[in-house]
Amino acid sequence: MTEDYSAFGYTGDGTAEDLLAWALDRYHPRIAVACSLQHAVVAHMASRIQPQVRVFSVDTGRLLEETYECARDLEQVLGVRIEWYFPRHEAVEQLLRSGGTHSFRASVQARQDCCGVRKLEPTRRALTGLEAWVSGLRRDQAASRHGRGKLEWDGAREGLLKVNPIADWSTEQTREYGRRHGLPHNRLLDRGYTSIGCACCTRAIEPGEDARAGRWWWELDGHKECGLHVADWSI
């Protein structure tokens, strides 16, 4: 079923490619693709439509080796250059001095503080000066994402459009697209990982577990989100 996004000025057929083509035509070069380095689906779509599109990723300082390998393969296959953003070293130093290397295990708030320093603040800088950005968010990834639209206003910055072209795709659709186009993916996805972040906060899931169970598994309550894909994330 086609979703109505005419309020955003979009009246296309609602497919991922059509939506992305509209966004790139309307906002390039003031638009960028955020790449989480789990798969290359959205980056591939965007680079086929607009070869000069910006693709960025955040290195939190604690990424898994397989994530760096995925980045390398993605650049080679797609012919793009990933723009890396890093946390401010002063903020990381203060975080470790005040709470230690594993302060994020102390509470949900402490973990969110760590995510704020290592991921949200670098993302804020990556989005500075843009009018729109593209993510690979999907509704089937977590209960907290079930109601997300393919087009929405970023909750943290007034007037910034967030484009989620594959929001209605399933995990299998995403994998099939990658196989069909011979795209690289994070090898951890073949080893039971369903959501990949920092090495200290990510594990493979067990049979029957929720797809987000491998993220911050010591947290029993609350949404399994870093804050980037919630309506009210802030820096």
Both tokens of residue 178? Answer: 């990658």
Query: Is there a contact between 142 and 212 (Cβ–Cβ < 8 Å)?
Result: yes
Q: With both helix axes pointing from N to C terminus, report the angle between 65-78 and 41-49 in degrees, rounded to the nearest 10.
A: 20
- Residues tagged active-site: 226
Provide the b/e sequence for 101-112 (b: ≥16 CB within 10 Å).
eebbbeeeeebb
Place of tokens 């599109």: 53
* CB proximity list for 202: less than 8 A, separation 6 or greater: 64, 188, 193, 195, 196, 214, 215
Q: With both helix axes pointing from N to C terminus, report the angle between 41-49 and 171-181 in degrees, rounded to the nearest 10.
A: 50
Query: Is there a contact between 80 and 55 (Cβ–Cβ < 8 Å)?
Result: yes
CA torsion sign for 176, 177, 178, 183 is positive
CA torsion sign for 33, 163, 224, 209 is negative
**Cα distances (Å, whole numbers) of residue 98 to 20, 32, 89, 196, 199:** 43, 34, 14, 27, 21
